[in-house]
Amino acid sequence: MTAVHAHPAPPSTRARRLVGPLGTIAALSLTTLALHVRDPHQHGTWGLCPLYATTGIYCPGCGGLRAVNDLTYGHVGAALSSNILVTLLIPVVSIGLLVWAVDRWQGRTRVVPWSRLRPFVVSLVTVMLVFAVARNTGAGAWLAP
Query: Binning pLDDT at 50, 70 and 90, where does residue 12 land?
Result: confident
Residue 1: is its pLDDT beyond 70? no
Spatial CB neighbours of 23, under 8 Å, sequence gap ≥ 6: none
Annotate 79-125 with three-state secondary structure: HHHHCHHHHHHHHHHHHHHHHHHHHHHCCCCCCCCHHHHHHHHHHHH
Single pTM value for the model:
0.85
Distance CA 85, CA 143 (A): 9
Distance CA 60, CA 113 (A): 27
Q: What is the pLDDT of residues 77-115, one digit of tens each?
A: 999 999 999 999 999 999 999 999 999 999 999 898 999
